[in-house]
Every structure is written in structure tokens, then in C-alpha cells.
Amino acid sequence: MQFHLNGFEPGDPEIRPDRSRRPAGSPLPSKTDVLIVGCGSAGLTLAAQMSAFDDIDTVIIERKPGPMQRGQADGVSCRSMEMFAAFGFAHRVCNEAYWVNETTFWKPDPQSPQHIIRTGRIQDVEDGLSEMPHVILNQARVHDMYLDVMARSATRLVPDYSRQITSIDLGDDADYPVTATIRREDPGHEGEIETIRARYVVGCDGARSDVRKSIGLELKGDSANKAWGVMDVLAVTDFPDIRQKTLIQSDTGGTLLIIPREGGYMARIYVEMETLGEGERVRNRNITEQDLIRAAQQIFRPYDFQVKDIVWWSVYEIGQRLTDRFDNLQDGETGTGHPRIFIAGDACHTHSPKAGQGMNVSMGDSFNLGWKLASVLRGRSDASLLRSYSEERQEVARDLIAFDQEWARIISERNRDGDAADTPKFQQYFVQHGRYTAGVSVRYGPSNLTGEGQHQDLARGFEIGMRFHSAPVVRLADGKPMHLGHVVKADTRWRLFAFADAAPPDDETSRLAALGRFLETDPASPLRRHTPQGADPDSVIDCRAVLQQGFRETDITSLPPLF
């Protein structure tokens, strides 16, 4: 038992009071605020965000009969882990996942090119880049944790499975302009048609997205005519780095990537296969799992590699594709119109899985869109805010495509380094782009949300347009060590962090005290302008002060009341 926000109640404090308006398993409502199509990583990230708001009606549908059991994505970047902290389950991922602490690199032995030797070993994530690790965890487990967030939320949001979108139409209705027609495919209801009207529809329904097709967009790009195999295996081997993330570039057998799996036994093996002919599809080659094993064994020489079990395997073609926009606005509307239909994740960008960015960028799409939808629907922001989603995230996707094209090219190059002591090009590229693969290099350009940078010198450590870099602090009220970034939750509130000057906060020269007076009393204060009458002072903008003084040297009563 503990004191909760709204009274003294027993039970798990993570389970919010039930405010749901629709029983689980009931037919779809006739209308909703947000309709999410697809229960992949992008869809569940968005659903978990929206589930926190009992004043917003959300429906999420999925054509498959139930939750994902075995996912294909597994790499979780540092930035995604920071996002999981905002949802409250980063600690669970840390406990279950494989931590990528080191990465090793191998290339042909100059003395015996048919064999490989280690050429480098580096720390996977540079010190100070994030408080969170780079980890490996099956995509299905990440989905389970999102579903837990939804089930514990005030809305008790659950997906509606076995439902297939058949059409989406955008009409003139001011309140619910999007009409979706859905066919049920669950036992006892096969073929039944449901119609739902929505304020907003978000397509998170993969590379063959029906939502994307409904707004006339297509994935554009090229194939590199390269086939790769991937398999999750239980193997017996004398290769010394089987429990390290490892990139091997052989002399004639191609390239291989090892990703150790959570649990301590399995490993995911990406292995380069054959070059495809112009216009040829990988399915025409009839590649089998035994072909993958033989290709891997050739690359591992002189080490033995015996596969005892294959949990999952697949063969894919390398290709990068991107849509022109991530919403339904046409070219002439981008500066004036308000989008009603969005796409996220694989529905708008696809690439090869070796970069380890697909699930991470997809979740980043939805995380960007979710708070904006909630802010608009709750009346806190104008609908023009929604235009920033496509503007910001398409640029991120372009960078992803460019990175993946170059990375795929470099790791498929045959080794041309003459000396084993030289640092191979693929190792150099990996090190140079460490911040990108950690997910912390995204920078949004100047917009209505992001400043131009003329005042960047006031806070050089926090680059405008980039994610808020956390740091260890001590909470003044109780002396608790914590991370500054972890006070930020996925609740749509704005945050104002005031980094105080050296003067004591109760000194007449304190700039923090002056800021506190301005925020509390000045008519120009954003708190005065945007906080509804009678609402809690931090209901819209949450203000935090970071002091230079030690917590034992500061009396909490000396702080401005707002902080």
C-alpha cells in the first residue's frame, strides 16, 4: 500500500484507475479520436502513448489473430531505451536483454587469406553518450511491454485483432472526416464489415501498407541486387567472439555479422549470400537454411561452427525505399492544410536490417507523432502542429536511407587491406557513426517548434533541435540520486529546465529567482498564458531548476515556489 496521487489506495501504483469506456472484445465503436492500423513497433508505441489519456478515444486494429510471438527485429538503441524510460519499462528491458558492450572486427589473415583474424575490438557505446545501454531483445518482448503499459493505463486499451482495412476515405466532416471500412476475420465473425469514423488515422501497417495506398503514396527506391540470410541459431563453436557483437569480412566468402541473443545461448547470424541478377528476386534462388549454414561455416574458417538448432531463418534482398511524405497533405497544402491521415515505420521507409535501426526509427516516428496528436486533441496546441511530423521525420528517414546504403556497400566490399594491423574501412565507418547508430544524433531543423540557434551560446551543452541529454543529479527534496532526464514522462506536458546561476537561489542577485517571479506573475509568462484557470501550475508546463550548489548546502525553502 502507498499514497497515490488521488488518495490512499492499496495495490500496484502502476495500474491506473479504470476509466475505460469500451469493454474489451466488444464491436468497434462508430467513431473514435484516433484509429491506429497495425500492432507493430510503431503502432504499439503510439498506442501506449495515447492510452495514457482517458479523455482521448483510441482504437488500434491488427489483421493478425493475436500479439507477435517471435519478432524479427532485436536491436534497441540507447535513444530507444531513453524513450522506454519515459514509458516506465526501461528497467525491465535492461534486466532481460543482452547488453552490447563491445564490438569486434575480423578480416582475412594476410598470411593465410582463407582464414580470419581479429583486427579490432572497441567499446560499443562511447562513455557519456547516454545513461542507457545498447541492448538486444526480441521484438515480441518489447511489444509485450507496450501491451502491459496499455493494459495498466486508465483507458485499458487493448488491440482489436483479426481486422483488415478494406478502404479509407477522407470526407468533409469537420469533426470525424476519415471513414475506415474494416473486415473482420476472427472465428464466428468472418466477413463481417465494420465502419468507423475517426478524427485521425495512423497507418503503422508495414511495407505493404493499405493506409499508405489510400492516400496515394508509394515507397520509392532501389534494390542493391544483394541477398543476405539471417538465422537465430543454437551453435557449438570454438570461435572466441561468439558472445560479442562481431563483424567478419572474409576473403572470398563474403561478410558475416554476429548479434548475441538474450538468454546467453543463441546468436543471430547475418550472412552475405549471392549477388542477384538485374531484376532478379531472392525467392527465385530457392535458398535453404543449409545454404546459410554452409556460407557461415566458410566465413568462420579456421574456426568450427556447428548449428544444433535453428529457431528462425529468412533470406532477404538489400533495398532502401522511402515515401515522398508521411501524411495525406498534397504539395500545395503543406503550409496551410492540417493532415488527418499519417503513416509511420515501415509504411513509409524500409531498409536492410543489418544497420539495426528499423525498429528504433519506427518507434521514433510514433513517439514524435503521439504527443502532437494528444496535444491537439486536448486543445493545448493548434492543429498546424501536426504538419511538423512529416517535416521532421522524413528528414530522419532520408538520413537512415543514406546511412544504410553506404553501410551495406562498405560491409559487402571485398577486403583490400594489405596489412592486418590496418584498421579496415568497415571498422572505421562503424566508429565514425557510433552516435548515429546509438540514435542520439537526430537533429530537427528550425521550425515553429525548434529555434534558429542564435542563443545557442547560452547552453552549449544542449544543442538546439537534439534530444535532451540526461545527467546524474540529486533531488533536493529527499537527497535521492537520479537522472535528470528520467523526470520526463510521456504525458504531453512541456518541460522548462532552468540551469541556475552561481548565486544562492534566495539571493537578490539570483537569476533563477528573477525567472521564477516572471513565470509566476508576468502576463507574458508562458505559464500564465497557457495554464487553464484552476488547473495545477505544472499541468501544461513542468518547471524544474538545476542548481550549482550541493544539495546539503541548499535549503529547499530558499527556492522560488514554482520550482
| Selection from 328, 329, 365, 334 nearest residue 350 by Cα | 365
Strands of 110-153 (E only): list them. 112-123, 135-136
DSSP state of 195: E
Which position among 261, 321, 387, 467 bears the catalytic label?
A: 261
In the residue annotation, 353 being an active-site residue is answered as yes
Buried (b) or exposed (e) across 488-517, using 16+ Cβ within 10 A? bebebbbebbbebbeebbeeeebebbebbe
What is the distance between the alpha carbons of residues 143 and 83, in angstroms, rounded to a whole number? 14
For strands 31-37 and 58-61, give the pairing.
Answer: parallel
The set of cell numbers assigned to 73 is 527485429
Which position among 33, 57, 63, 74 bears the catalytic label?
A: 74
Which position among 159, 177, 260, 353 bears the catalytic label?
A: 353
Distances (CA, A) of 541 to 306, 442, 536: 58, 24, 10
In the residue annotation, 261 being an active-site residue is answered as yes
Q: What is the DSSP string of 429-450?
A: HHHHTHHHHTT----PPSSSSS
Whether 543 contacts 519, CB under 8 Å: yes
Which position among 270, 321, 339, 504 bears the catalytic label?
A: 270
What is the distance between the alpha carbons of residues 24 and 252, in angstroms, rounded to a whole number? 56
In the residue annotation, 444 being an active-site residue is answered as no
| Selection from 118, 160, 43 nearest residue 421 by Cα | 118
What is the distance between the alpha carbons of residues 181 and 372, in angstroms, rounded to a whole number? 26
The set of cell numbers assigned to 255 is 561478410
Catalytic residues: 74, 261, 270, 353
